[in-house]
Copies of this chain bind each other. A is one copy, B any other.
Amino acid sequence: MKVFVIGVGLIGGSFALALKEAYKNVTIFGIDNNDAYLNEALELGVIDEKVDWNDLGEAEIVYTAIPVNVLCELLPEILDRVSDDTLVIDGGSTKSLICEAVKEHPKRRNFLAAHPIAGTEFSGPSAAIKDLYKNKTNIICEVEKTAFKLQEKALKIFTDIGMRIRYMDPHSHDKHIAYVSHLSHISAFMLGKTVIEKEEENERDIFDMAGSGFESTVRLAKSSPAMWTPIFQQNKTNVLETLEKYIANLQQFRDLMVQDDYESIYEVMENTNKIKEILKGITVKN
């Protein structure tokens, strides 16, 4: 199986490693505009060969794991270059604009729009993990627009690397993912910013007092700005909606504190504690 991975970082690299784990007969060809990454991926055994755009015609499967704005630009060109039987899968965190970008493309049926709910805060080929996708959910959008044979092929691969499948329309995907993923990133980035600013102001040693609770809450602030800026941009409307609701909740919490209404603060926290039960479900699933 000849698989071309475009973008050999955390997401693309982990997909490559998962395929190598699942199948004997797979050769991974890597494409990346960062040549250092490409060499690193080769050294680490994430890919087997460096190739370029001119080789795309030879691909049986293409997996794209690049910033979503670049993907929107390049996906039509990728489809132009692949053969009639090639399956092209993306791993982008937004789906509406990506599906829109190839809506009228003559090879639309070669493309499967997907978003694996998996990742870490690290990036680059060295962040790739063979088990990243195991027991994780893959959200597939507009499955009916992909050729049936290629749907089958993709599903077999996802199952073989241990993923669960959910189908969803791109609009619902973008709306919901803003809440459970995009907002968490902004929340963590701004928490990190607030504490760093305080440290810079006068306290060099404030982080000596930080424990595992802070570390967990701020973890996503290590994420790649190159990946996340275009995600916020592409999902602007939904992200703004979640962000405004989040700010309103924080503002309300602040007002309750100003009013010394600790009874209401207790209640708000107690009601939110039910996230325990909800997260139990997540832990099982992810």
Which residue of the partner chain B has the closest CB to A178?
A: B198
Residues of B within 8 A of A196 (CB): 271-272, 274-275, 278
Tell me how far the C-beta of A191 lies from the nearest C-beta in chain B, rounded to whole angstroms: 5
Please tell me which stretch of A19-27, A45-53, A146-154, A233-241 contacts chain B, meaning at least 4 of its Cβ atoms lie within 8 angstroms of it. Answer: A233-241
Kindly provide the distance from the CB of A142 to the nearest chain B CB, expressed in whole angstroms: 17
Whether a CB of chain B sits under 8 angstroms from the CB of A106 is no
- The answer to whether A176 and B203 have CB atoms under 8 Å apart is yes
Copies in the complex: 2
A interface secondary structure, majority: helix
Q: Which residues of B contact A249 (CB under 8 A)?
A: 190, 193-194, 197
- Of B139, B247, B254, the residue contacting A251 (CB under 8 A) is B247
**Residues in B whose Cβ lies below 8 Å from that of A210:** 117, 180-181, 282, 286
Known contacts being A183-B195, A189-B272, A194-B246, is A265 close to B203, with CB within 8 Å? no
Q: A173-B209, A177-B209 are in contact. List 14 more A-B contacts (CB 8 A).
A: A118-B212, A120-B212, A137-B208, A176-B206, A189-B253, A193-B249, A197-B249, A214-B282, A219-B279, A221-B275, A222-B275, A222-B279, A225-B270, A239-B257
